Chain A
């Protein structure tokens, strides 16, 4: 017994050190990208052709009002000073004031962001609950036609725009069967499920095909490995076989993909929240863009960007921990 565990124990520290070294490297890269995201969010208003203030107020606005908004948006100082002020504000959690509602941008984001995060969390749980059994079933089947039907039907699902699916889901489940509310929202965990299950299901029509395809091909790849054969020969119990021999070695690429898909999902929540009238951050973005509320647009873009960078960092580190062969960059 002792002889078996000793070599593992001596090997463990370098492996862990290597993992930490890679994780630190990946963190540094994420910080770099986050900085650029901040620069892009800041630069948005400076990119505008013509005068953003005139575009917002109209050409006939009073000169005093124009002057005041220019001061409020800090467009009266040079970009370098403005950027320094902006960064300083960010360090203190200040994102500016909404032009439209005069509310603090940070406060608007903090009230609407949880709704969006809930949608994403529920979607991920639902999608994994569907994608894992589906991918396993398709990989284990002996019928030759099943993988082809699987591939064809997933590509059809992926080609159907989510907002079309959302509208159909609203007609069928909301109006016809009346099993989903078509408007309104209640915050808080069990209560919000009633409003979020249908939007989450709609996003799943894109997420499940993507995830199950990648998981399917990694399971097929894993099935060719020798240790799987060993498992069959040794006669390990079924649940143990599925988890330790098939799923665990195959999950890493799916986790990386899932963390990437969170970014894509954040994009699709913009449309889904608008259709289902959910008070999430995506709908705030659409409202802010239509009202040309620049500070709010900047703030939301920044939060979205940071969120995506953080999630992809977590995904890469997690995948590397699950399977050290995965490259963290």
Chain B
């Protein structure tokens, strides 16, 4: 009875991770293979516009006669790659800032940066991102830059809370008493213990960032046509949604597929970590 209760969340977590990873790998493989093997170029006008899905054009053709199937998969690495940058840069900055804040001695500086973090976190990410794009101009590079400027604050808050806890642990005290240099304590003790927490957040943040990128592009504040990007494709399809639903639905489904895959992985990992009952 007890053994069953203890293994169930673990097993559930494993199923989630397996399903999510399979979905993600399948998508990455298709993103690599489809543009390579497809008879059509993602940006080439190869057919009569607005053809509904058929064996020749699996996802139909768009308003310019481009193959939607090729375009959806040509966008995989663009969307996921930009999202990867948009997560990893804030992850590194935020973790570093959070750790430094927890061990810094200059109280005024700490208070100043901490309230800046609070203020950035108070503003909805999408609102702040849109406002900053007004300054940098639309584009995928702007999105990465804007995410680097804003999203680090969320990681910094998590890292700081965690690093403050780590700082009170006996092994840190021991390392100090042993006379290890500060850099060693930081890199060997703080970074691994704090980043386990921030990396876990990064995984669920990845989903939000993918949607943010597609959402901004959908509002014509991110990638611009004719780029093959899911948000752009959806906004291009929007005026024709009544008659040519495939132009909007298939890129949208690709977006959902990526989101669901990642959320299964994130959920599975957190179930496993929390163990029974969590």
Q: How close is A275's CB to chain B, nearest CB, in angstroms?
A: 8
Contact flags (1/0) for A22-63 with B, using CB distance below 8 Å? 000000010011001101100011011100100100000000
A156-B263, A308-B122, A308-B123 given; A271·B215 CB < 8 A: yes
C-alpha gap A168/B234 in the complex (Å): 11
- When chains A and B are docked, how far (Å) is the Cα of A152 from the Cα of B266? 12
Which of B65-73, B87-95, B113-121, B166-174 is the interface stretch? B113-121
Let me know if A159 and B263 touch, CB within 8 A.
yes
Is the pair A167, B234 in contact by a Cβ cutoff of 8 Å? Answer: yes
- Separation of A32 and B115 alpha carbons in the complex (Å): 7
Interface of chain B: mostly helix, strand, loop or mixed:
helix
Pairwise interchain contact A161-B215, C-beta atoms closer than 8 A: yes
- For A147, give the chain B residue with the smallest CB separation: B12
Q: Which chain A residues border B180 with CB–CB below 8 Å?
A: none
Main SS at interface, chain A: helix
A236 within 8 A of B: no
Binds A, one of B24-32, B126-134, B195-203: B126-134
Cβ distance B208 to chain A, nearest Cβ, rounded Å: 9
Chain B, 260-278, contact with A by CB distance < 8 Å: what is the 0/1 string?
1011100100000000000
A285 and B130 in contact (CB under 8 A), knowing A33-B119, A171-B241?
Answer: yes
Q: How far is the CB of A98 from chain B (nearest CB, A)?
A: 13
A128–B236 CA distance with the chains assembled, in angstroms: 35
- In the complex, the answer to whether B134 meets A289 with C-beta atoms within 8 Å is yes
Q: Which of A148, A159, A175, A271 has the most CB of B within 10 A?
A: A159
Report if B207 contacts A (CB, 8 A): yes
Inter-chain contacts of A288 with B (CB < 8 A): 134
State whether A160 and B259 are in contact (beta carbons under 8 Å apart), knowing that A44-B135, A48-B135, A171-B245 are contacts in the complex: yes
Question: Could you tell me which residues of chain B, from 204 to 262, have a CB within 8 Å of some CB in chain A?
Answer: 207, 211, 214-215, 218-221, 234, 238, 241-242, 245, 248-249, 252, 255-256, 259-260, 262
Question: Which A residues lie at the B interface, using CB under 8 A?
Answer: 29, 32-33, 36-37, 39-40, 44-45, 47-49, 52, 55, 148, 151-152, 155-156, 158-164, 167-168, 170-171, 175, 263-264, 266-268, 270-271, 274, 285-286, 288-290, 292, 294, 297-298, 300-301, 304-305, 308-309, 312
The 11 listed contacts between A and B (C-beta, < 8 Å) are A33-B115, A44-B132, A55-B137, A158-B263, A160-B256, A161-B215, A161-B255, A170-B241, A270-B130, A285-B127, A309-B122
